[in-house]
Structure 1
Amino acid sequence: MNVAKAGSKFIYLNDLMRFLREDQALKTMALLVGTPGDEKVNKAALKTWVVNAFRERKALALTLNDTKTAVNKLHQMVNVLVGIIIVVICLLVLNIATSKFLLFISSQIVVVAFIFGNTCKTIFEAIIFLFVMHPFDVGDRCEIVGVQLIVEEMNILTTVFLKWDNEKVYFPNSTLSTRAISNHYRSPDRWDSIDFFIHITTPPDMVAVMKQRIINFIESKKDYYYPNDITVVSLKLEDISSIKFHIWWRHKINFQDMGERFIRKGVVIDEMVRIFKEHDIEYRLYPVDVNIRNMPPPVTSSRVPQTWEALR
């Protein structure tokens, strides 16, 4: 209402340049619509940006809260350790601690280190993982051992994740420090791909038309995809009767919002199916193997003799 002209349903680049420098206006336009070339912003794009910004700020607030809690626990542990050191130093300064007393204390320390050595090592590894490595924050979508999880809570010793069905999973931080972790939120704009098969008898000119139509469709969605990062290639001959094709393109989002990724990919698949049907192309989007394990019992008929004796 304050930026767009009266009666206009869009905010244009010139409208932003009344308040911002040209470089700032271009950056703002890129944030709102994702494509600097589209010099207009509608209400839906602005609403989407505000919602995403709110989600990011909420995740940041949760991260800071969990980090503050972890720091407070770490501060308490350090206070206890410093307090013990101060008591020992005071005993030495006041000549209260004798050599026998120090020998007794050192022997007890050795016993405690033997008993709690692994625990202290685990705590140290968890602290290094949480504050030094720091591979994720609250709200990040991560992939660990092939399973996608969302970070729910971060503690000194454990991290709580959520699965797609909101099942909570607790991972020790010392274990996470030894595993490969994929962070979708911190990743740049991601690539996507689809494999499909068409019959080998499909005419080459029809295959060329099919490729071009798929590329043109993805390029037309420049709000969603990078128009210059699209490739459709034939990979190999499959089962003598089919040719395997591979298409990959680059989204203008990472895969933090996996639902949005599937929606955009589904739009491409729907368009591909429509193209195949229009050109009467026999296709498969993925191979289907049928394995017969149990054969049905043979059907017997009372009208046919079953034994040689009956024939005689």
Structure 2
Amino acid sequence: MDASVLISLLYVSHALETTRMFEWYIEEEDLLRFLRWEEIDTIFPLFEGAIEAGHISKSRFRKLGVIGVATTKVLLVVSSQLVLVGFMFQNTCKTIFESIVFVFVMHPFDVGDRCVIDDVQMIVEEMNILTTVFLRYDNEKIVYSNSTLSTKPISNFYRSPEMSDTVDFTIDVSTFVDNINALEKQIQAYIESKPKHWNPKHSLLVKEIENVDKMKLTLSVLHTINHQNYGEKNIRRSELVLELKKIFENIGIKYHVLPQEIHLTQISTPTLS
């Protein structure tokens, strides 16, 4: 028997028992206030003599055991549903609260900001209360729940100050120190000639000598912009690398591979008779 039907029967029986002092019975009209005709047609055959009498007597009702067994079943069903709903409601409220705090209090980005999340660079395309939509570098859309984002480190290029960049390169270990000094001066001259692109602060450092034949150097520069406009940042860096190539050519800085030992073996061929 369906739980809703059992609840209706129990409710009707309780109402009749409190309003009628003597023997009570359940008629079809009593059940119509809570059930449909199809359900009533299903209930009446369960009670002996109910169809002939046109009602369900108290004695037949107790005999079926509805009041004892069914009450326990109904309470279990209802209580389990209430626990489930309460748990779901609690989680939903927690998620909504975390999302509201993230969007309106933390507010780590706005629409259009370039961010890095989980080592992936993305543009914020759409912000909602519960979710945020990002556009990846290849135009793939990625949706994060705001409650999840609130637990992740987020890098925001748009809100960052002027950002640095590096160019690593290798020169021959036999390069004269004077040539390295000339390299540094020409790099400085180029950077100072582009004040709209580069901050004058920069450094050229020798990192290490590797395999006794080459020196690894790092040029550290500071953009006059952050990396929100990633295309412009890449263009400036590309121009800097090309300028380094020109300087290498002007000064005569090259990289030579160490002499390699070669072993030759003569293979004799049979002579034709």
Normalization by structure 1: what TM-score?
0.54
Once residues 104 and 173 of structure 2 are traced to their aligned partners in structure 1, the CA distance between those partners, rounded to angstroms, is 56
Alignment partner of 2:248 out of 254, 276, 287: 276
Report the RMSD for the aligned CA atoms in angstroms.
2.3
Q: 1:164: how far off?
A: 1.5
Alignment partner of 2:144 out of 158, 162, 171: 171
Partner AA of 1:253 in structure 2? I
Residue 260 of structure 1 corresponds to which residue in structure 2?
Answer: 232
Once residues 188 and 212 of structure 1 are traced to their aligned partners in structure 2, the CA distance between those partners, rounded to angstroms, is 27
Which portions of structure 1, spanning 4 or more consecutive aligned residues, are displaced by more than 3 angstroms? 105-111
State the Cα deviation string for residues 119-147 of structure 1 (Å, max 9, x = none): 32222211111111110000000011111
Residue 114 of structure 1 corresponds to which residue in structure 2?
Answer: 87
Q: 1:217: how far off?
A: 0.6
Q: 1:199: how far off?
A: 0.9
Q: Does 1:217 align with 2:190?
A: yes
Q: 1:238: how far off?
A: 2.1
Residues 237 and 243 in structure 1, CA contact (< 8 A), matched pair in contact too: yes
Once residues 247 and 220 of structure 1 are traced to their aligned partners in structure 2, the CA distance between those partners, rounded to angstroms, is 17
Residue 136 of structure 1 corresponds to which residue in structure 2?
Answer: 109
Once residues 274 and 244 of structure 1 are traced to their aligned partners in structure 2, the CA distance between those partners, rounded to angstroms, is 18
Residue 202 of structure 1 corresponds to which residue in structure 2?
Answer: 175
Partner AA of 1:274 in structure 2? K
Q: 1:278: how far off?
A: 2.0
Specify the SS of the correspondent of 2:204. strand
Alignment partner of 2:157 out of 168, 184, 187: 184
Alignment partner of 1:251 out of 223, 226, 232: 223
Alignment partner of 2:213 out of 236, 241, 247: 241
Residues 116 and 156 in structure 2, CA contact (< 8 A), matched pair in contact too: yes
Residues 139 and 151 in structure 1, CA contact (< 8 A), matched pair in contact too: yes
Residue 128 of structure 2 corresponds to which residue in structure 1?
Answer: 155
Partner AA of 2:184 in structure 1? K
State the Cα deviation string for residues 172-213 of structure 1 (Å, max 9, x = none): 111111111000000011111111111101111111101111
Q: Percent identity?
A: 49
Q: 1:112: how far off?
A: 2.3
Structure 2 portions without partners, runs of 5+: 1-77, 257-268
How many correspondences in the alignment? 182
Q: Does 1:231 align with 2:203?
A: yes
State the Cα deviation string for residues 1-37 of structure 1 (Å, max 9, x = none): xxxxxxxxxxxxxxxxxxxxxxxxxxxxxxxxxxxxx
Specify the SS of the correspondent of 2:179. helix
Specify the SS of the correspondent of 1:259. helix
Measured at CA, do residues 271 and 184 of structure 1 come closer, stay the same or move farther in structure 2, by a change above 3 Å?
same
Structure 1 portions without partners, runs of 5+: 1-104, 285-302, 305-312
Normalization by structure 2: what TM-score?
0.62
Once residues 241 and 185 of structure 1 are traced to their aligned partners in structure 2, the CA distance between those partners, rounded to angstroms, is 42
Residues 111 and 125 in structure 2, CA contact (< 8 A), matched pair in contact too: yes
Once residues 108 and 255 of structure 2 are traced to their aligned partners in structure 1, the CA distance between those partners, rounded to angstroms, is 42
State the Cα deviation string for residues 252-273 of structure 1 (Å, max 9, x = none): 1111100000111111100001
Q: What does 1:65-104 correspond to in 2, within 5 Å?
A: none
Q: Give 1 or 2 for the bigger CA radius of gyration.
A: 2
Residues 276 and 283 in structure 1, CA contact (< 8 A), matched pair in contact too: no
